[in-house]
Amino acid sequence: MSLPRSNPSAQGVDAAGILAFVDATERDGLDLHSLMVVRHGHVVAEGWWAPYAAGRVHLAYSLSKTVTATAVGLLAQEGRLSLDDLVLDHFPDLDRGTVAKGWERVRVRHCLSMTVGHEEDAWGRVVDRMSGSDFGDGDDWVPKVFATEPTREPGTFFAYNQVATYLLSVIVRQVAGEGVAEFLRPRLLDPLGLPDIPWHRDPLGRELGFTGSHLTTEAIASIAQLYLDRGRWQGEQLLSESWVEEATRAFGPLNEDPGAEPDWRRGYGYSFWMQRHGFRGDGAFGQFLIVLPEQDTVVAITAEHERMQLTLDLLWEHVLPAIGGAGNAEADERLARRLAALAKPALSGDALGPDRADFARTEASDLADGYTAVSVTRQGADHVLGLERRGEWLRVPVGRGAWREGELVAGGATVPVVASGGWVDEDVFRAEVIAIESPHRFRVEARLRSGDADLTWRLVPLTGPDPLWLATR
């Protein structure tokens, strides 16, 4: 643990407001995985929906941009690069004949602020998949990035753009001689008492930068606290105050996307969104690092859902008014009991089922096409789920009414999972498999009478439909 603990009322927080927020998220089906609230530098509320747990990392998606930008800020304060550096100057070996017009004016600060001059995210023109164990060739993606032409003058147009932060990650490696993860170890992770950060990487082993970091909930909260305290941690100035000031205010034009929600329209700094209250880093499917300077509060959330504005709306409705509230010991205790009991219900089944059954994949399935067959084998009171992938069988222990830990292993990749399920009647077997270091889970429903099985994601990962593409190892 890197942050001290306290009761909500001791730090001027009415626990009833946090409890109302938790209840509201469950009522509205937001599928949170963890929550941490920190006031005056003390954790006043923390909870994980089991089988998610405090010690597990969680894929942060675009919250990774905040981590990468922080590495850039540290290099800048060490005088090893300038935010006004031309990006191309950090790629002296790049064949300039392959570089599209416009890149010669793009500076590091334009990458930080998503104002490189593209009018839309250019990542889809660089690579089909963001991560995974099946990259195909080992091409360098950097020349592909520079082949995408910026059509606006740098600094004049905002477009949320993965290639911008990808280049920053590569620049960190070019300047520091080591990747983002290694560079941050002595400068950020060790002082904050945080574990290593696993990353998704490109074919050449470089962190993607814009996504792919895997953080504990406390790591998210600790980085948020560092920014709240203007770069200071336990009396030491780790990040320069000038960097924090510049990174956490809006740069350049506002987001003009007509579909943008209210808290996505207030400007973007250096990997931070401005919002109605304070600022934040965030990632797809509900990952949040929220900083509320006026309330001396930070909030960390991991989740799997697509209604991110609703998360913020509920925070403003329930948690914000609770900060500075009277609170009392009874409310503190009610919240503590609620948070300690958080859990995702495990699937079960009362039917015995056969010792073994085999099934073919249905067309309704949305797991990657390489998953073609399913087997279910009884193992005591529990079962083993088999998934045939490209002719190789992956096997996962499935707890009946309880989550069992296992791994998906193939092609040099390993994805930790937990699974539960059972025979719900004489015909149907159901199981749920959670890729426990990510937001994602998929269901298996197999039927004896038809001899087939549906393999369906709750929400398909941005890495693609193969769960093995979630692997960092």
**Helix, strand, or coil (residue 25):** helix
From 268, 334, 282, 333, select the one nearest 312 (Cα to Cα).
282
Shared domain for 234 and 152, answered yes or no, is: yes
Shared domain for 203 and 150, answered yes or no, is: yes
Element (H, E) at 385: strand 382-389
pTM: 0.96
Shared domain for 402 and 261, answered yes or no, is: no
Contact 414, 473 (CB under 8 A): yes
Shared domain for 174 and 287, answered yes or no, is: yes
Question: Has residue 350 been placed in a domain?
Answer: no
Shared domain for 271 and 381, answered yes or no, is: no
Total number of residues shown for the chain? 473
Map tokens 């941009």 to a residue: 65
Shared domain for 266 and 367, answered yes or no, is: no
Contact 409, 397 (CB under 8 A): no
Question: What gap in Å lies between CA 417 and CA 406, rounded to an integer?
Answer: 5
Question: Has residue 363 been placed in a domain?
Answer: yes
Shared domain for 292 and 374, answered yes or no, is: no
Shared domain for 297 and 370, answered yes or no, is: no
Beta bridge partners of 343: 50
Domains contained in the chain, number: 2
Determine the structural domain holding residue 306 and report its residue range. 9-340
Q: What is the pLDDT of residue 189?
A: 97
Question: What gap in Å lies between CA 80 and CA 301, rounded to an integer?
Answer: 33
Shared domain for 216 and 80, answered yes or no, is: yes
Question: What gap in Å lies between CA 388 and CA 359, rounded to an integer?
Answer: 10
Question: Has residue 4 been placed in a domain?
Answer: no
Which class for 295: exposed (0-12), middle (13-18), buried (19 or more C-beta within 10 A)? buried
Question: Has residue 351 been placed in a domain?
Answer: no
> For the CA atoms of the chain, what is the radius of gyration?
23
Question: What gap in Å lies between CA 254 and CA 420, rounded to an integer?
Answer: 45
Q: What is the pLDDT of residue 272?
A: 98
Which of 307, 340, 373 is the last residue in one of the domains?
340
pLDDT tens for the chain, 473 residues: list them. Answer: 589 999 999 999 999 999 999 999 999 999 999 999 999 999 999 999 999 999 999 999 999 999 999 999 999 999 999 999 999 999 999 999 999 999 999 999 999 999 999 999 999 999 875 444 454 557 899 999 999 999 999 999 999 999 999 999 999 999 999 999 999 999 999 999 999 999 999 999 999 999 999 999 999 999 999 999 999 999 999 999 999 999 999 998 999 888 899 999 999 999 999 999 999 999 999 999 999 999 999 999 999 999 999 999 999 999 999 999 889 999 999 999 999 999 999 999 999 999 999 999 999 999 999 999 999 999 999 999 999 999 999 999 999 999 999 999 998 999 999 999 999 999 999 999 999 999 999 999 999 999 999 999 999 999 999 999 999 97
Shared domain for 370 and 336, answered yes or no, is: no
Shared domain for 330 and 222, answered yes or no, is: yes
Question: Has residue 14 been placed in a domain?
Answer: yes
Question: What gap in Å lies between CA 433 and CA 51, rounded to an integer?
Answer: 11
Question: Has residue 172 been placed in a domain?
Answer: yes
Which class for 70: exposed (0-12), middle (13-18), buried (19 or more C-beta within 10 A)? buried
DSSP string, 212-242: --EE-HHHHHHHHHHHHTTTEETTEE-S-HH
**For residue 390, what is the domain's CATH number?**
2.40.128
Shared domain for 273 and 136, answered yes or no, is: yes
Beta bridge partners of 441: 434
DSSP string, 146-184: HTS---S-TTS-----HHHHHHHHHHHHHHHSS-HHHHH
Question: Measuring CA to CA, how many Å separate 288 from each of 281, 351, 418, 470?
Answer: 6, 41, 24, 20
Question: What gap in Å lies between CA 243 and CA 231, rounded to an integer?
Answer: 8
**For residue 87, what is the domain's CATH number?**
3.40.710.10
Question: Measuring CA to CA, how many Å separate 38 from each of 65, 126, 417?
Answer: 22, 39, 29
Question: Has residue 273 been placed in a domain?
Answer: yes
Question: Has residue 1 been placed in a domain?
Answer: no
